[in-house]
Chains A and B, each alone.
Chain A
Amino acid sequence: MRPRSVEEVQEAVRQAGRLRVQAGGTKPALSAPREGEEVLDLSGLRGVLEYAPEEFVFTALAGTPVAEVEALLRAHGQHLPFHPPLAHEGATLGGTVAAGLSGPLRHRFGGVRDFILGVRFVDGEGRLVRAGGKVVKNAAGFGFHRLMVGSLGAFGVMVELSFKVFPYPRSTATLRLALGRLEEALERMERLLALDLMALDLEPPATLWVRLGGLPESLPLRVERLQALLGGGEVVEEDEAYWEEARRLAYGPLLVKIPAKLPEIPRLEALLAGPRRYIAGGEAVYAGLEPEERERLKALGVPHLVLKGEVPDPLFPPPQDPFFLKVKRALDPRGRFPLS
């Protein structure tokens, strides 16, 4: 099924047994249908509906590719500061929200949960529900829009989303600092967390990538200050291109997101061997894993989400608490939407 309107989505949901939403297909571990599921392809539900640059707000259909939105914003000197991963590979707004993914630039102003303002979704009974709004501040009604973040579509099919956006810095610069040991890198990161950085990533074993954004007049001085604080660091020529490459997440065979925190990095490092990157001051790691490594994470109880690679259970641990179950029952009483 490839609906072209909200009504068609509602119809599809009402007719369905079990439904799996697919849009860009960039996170196949989540969107590939399992036995007994029908695919609801949302890629036909695309387009920006409203955008007023001076409001810092836009509204678009959920199947709209992130790249399309970013091109439009860029023409007005703006961007999505949470920097959705896999944008060039075809990720959609809905898929990004459903999977709950943010990229390296989330460091400065926050992740997808901080920028989503409103949603319209079709619940498990085919009813169209709106929550949140189209203004940068709003506290009316339950925050279903926030609930959608990371929901993997378990509560409904998002059809329309509103986001806050911010100005893109007039100029940017990136420093690379290769250190000898992980401990040194972590010690530098901790000091850097006090600064107003656009991005602060760790590429194991011990390379830091730091990005600054701001006015062109102040940037050279800020780069100097940063170098002094770091005790070195080379300025990267391909600033923009580098960060675009970083969010491609071309890791395999299983691409996994693991929430982290700076003090937990040594423990995670002992578990991970493949290509990987800690983003946003160590708040999450995107890693390429072998299937056995993934089993180890599960055995050790490390929460994570598999984005690519064939696994029956991409979300670990599966949410089971009473609050989840009650909300699920309220919005999808017939269990039409699988969770991961």
Chain B
Amino acid sequence: MDPLKALRAIYPPSRLLTREAELVPYESDALTAYRARPLAVVLPETEEEVVRTVRLCRELGLPFVARGSGTSLSGGSLPVEGGVVIALNRMNRILRLDPVRRIAVVEPGVVNLEVSKAAFPYGLYYAPDPSSQPVSTIGGNLAFNSGGAHCLRYGMTANHVLGAKVVLATGEVVHLGGEGLEGVGPDLLGLFVGSEGLLGIALQVTLRLLPRPERYHTLLAAYETLEGAGEAVSRVIGAGLLPGAMEIMDRLAIEAAEAAVGAGYPQAEALLIVELEGEAPEVEAEARLLEEVIAQSGAYEVRVARTEEERQRIWKGRKAAFSAVGRLSPDYLVQDGVVPRSRLGEALREIQRLSQAYGLRVANVFHAGDGNLHPLVLYDGKKPGELERAEALAGEILRLCIRLGGSVTGEHGVGMEKRAYLAEMFSPQDLEAMERVRLEVDPGRLANRGKVFPGG
């Protein structure tokens, strides 16, 4: 059967893209170093259309990739050459929001931030907040087990997804999890979350909503060295505090953020943002403790947000940092390695050394409380050999993270980009077990082929 003809039986022409000009925007995700031309992009509006498409792909042996907003930084939503892209942005309805049960049931194409907006009138919010929150979708977040600044205290997406209706790569539709925090039986949803679109496509997702904290206390501290900021993080933890967020930016990232959004940050080698949150009396008491800890940590300038506007200003620079780095360099690679928190200083020194050795600038913005580094490797793709050098440098950083006992990805996923490094983190037996599960669910390796596993 002609695949395009079969797709035409499911989709009207306006929702079946096949012309070159229509396909170009879908040829890559936010990791633009990779591109591939799909056979077609389909824009389903109903679950049934997605299920029919998956079944059709299975019948025809046609590879397919689910796509949310395409903000993956690891090539996770890169199309398979000649395959089908199932773009879910139009399935963007919040189906139910139940303030008593504190859940939201949403379609996969709902943008992350929209959930918190809808929950706002009830005093609730959706905790996982990747910096791509205004754009990225719940489906993409679920597939990548996405994170953000609040993971230490609240965990990753996996901790906030309670249930999902899923079409497996075989075409079977299953319900995983439920509507409550507690269940019985194996946590199958826990396995599905973070499987990077290799096991199937989420059609409907049940999210857990949290009450908005009564009070925030947001502090910005400037340090003369990156290590100084890193040590302050250890002191905060050592004092028994559990902030909602602890973020560090280095000089290059600060400069980029300033140039982009003018957050009014102080000049510094490193900035630390610490945010406490919770019940007002508790936050007030914790703030006094935090103040003492920071005073002893060698910070030469400390600012505390007195108003919500000041708080938003502090976060604005941090949240814009990735895209702002685009102003300093035509291209950059975002890395996402994790190290044990106590090895942060060592990791940052080594990254500095590698940066010099490779002759490429590296900006650092990271979730310090989690040991989750985001070195941004700056390069110019027009200069011959620079991309390769940037990739080699990025690879060395990933190896460093593995060597220090960490992980090659904290939140951006393995995708296309880190396939080779997965084999350095896990043994062949570990990977084989994952591959066996995948093959039971998808014998033809049709779903997001070429991602995650070293062999493709």
Measuring CB to CB, which residues of chain A are less than 8 angstroms from any residue of chain B? 52, 54-57, 77, 100, 102, 106, 109-111, 113-114, 123, 127-131, 133-144, 146-152, 154-155, 166-167, 170, 190, 193-196, 214-215, 217-218, 221-222, 225, 257, 259-263, 280, 283-284, 303-305, 315-319, 321-324, 326-327, 329-331
Contacts and interface: CB of A to CB of B under 8 A. Distances in A.
Contact of A109 (B153, B168, B412, B441): B153
B183 A259 contact: yes
A217 B185 CA distance: 42
Nearest to A142: B434
17 contacts: A56-B237, A129-B429, A136-B371, A137-B338, A139-B411, A140-B409, A141-B434, A148-B187, A149-B187, A150-B186, A215-B285, A222-B282, A259-B183, A262-B100, A263-B101, A323-B174, A323-B192
A149 B211 CA distance: 26
Contact of B429 (A57, A114, A128): A128
Contact of B437 (A154, A260, A326): A326
Contact of B186 (A57, A110, A135, A319): A319
A209 to B, nearest CB: 18
Interface in B402-420: 405-414, 418
Contacts of A214: 279, 282, 285-286
Contacts of A151: 185-187
Given A128-B429, A139-B411, A196-B279, A327 B191 contact: yes
B422 A222 contact: no
A77 B239 CA distance: 10
A195 B211 CA distance: 8
Interface in B59-118: 100-102
Contact of B340 (A55, A155, A215): A55
B191 A142 contact: yes
B370 A137 contact: yes
B242 interface: yes
Interface stretch (B155-163, B294-302, B385-393): B155-163
B197 interface: no
B339 interface: yes
A261 B163 CA distance: 14
A324 B340 contact: no
A321 B437 CA distance: 15
Contacts of A319: 185-186, 188
B430 interface: yes
A148 B429 CA distance: 18
Interface in B164-203: 166, 168, 170, 172, 174-176, 178-188, 190-195, 199
Contact of A140 (B181, B188, B289, B407): B407
The 6 closest A-B pairs by CB, nearest first: A146-B190, A218-B285, A284-B182, A326-B440, A138-B407, A305-B184
A59 B241 CA distance: 23
Contact of A166 (B100, B170, B242, B425): B242
Given A140-B422, A215-B289, A283-B180, A193 B102 contact: yes
B410 A137 contact: yes
A271 B144 CA distance: 41
Contacts of B146: 139
Nearest to A168: B240
A299 to B, nearest CB: 17
What range describes how many residues of B lie at the interface?
35 or more
Contacts of B281: 218, 221-222, 225
A218 B242 contact: no
Given A55-B341, A139-B145, A193-B102, A215 B153 contact: no
Contacts of A217: 285, 288
Nearest to A260: B180
Nearest to B342: A54
Given A193-B102, A214-B285, A283 B123 contact: no
A55 B371 CA distance: 9
B372 interface: yes
B152 interface: yes
Nearest to B340: A55
Nearest to B151: A137
Nearest to B452: A141
Pick from A56, A77, A196, A315 the residue with the most CB of B within 10 Å: A196
Nearest to B193: A143
Nearest to A322: B172
A54 B174 contact: no
B342 A137 contact: no
Contacts of A318: 185
Contact of A315 (B185, B289, B370): B185
A218 B286 CA distance: 9
Contact of A150 (B145, B175, B184, B193): B184
Contacts of A259: 178, 180, 182-184
Given A129-B429, A150-B183, 10 more contacts: A100-B183, A106-B182, A133-B338, A137-B156, A137-B407, A139-B414, A259-B180, A315-B185, A326-B441, A327-B191
B128 to A, nearest CB: 12
A140 B414 contact: yes
A121 B339 CA distance: 23
B342 A327 contact: no
A267 B387 CA distance: 62
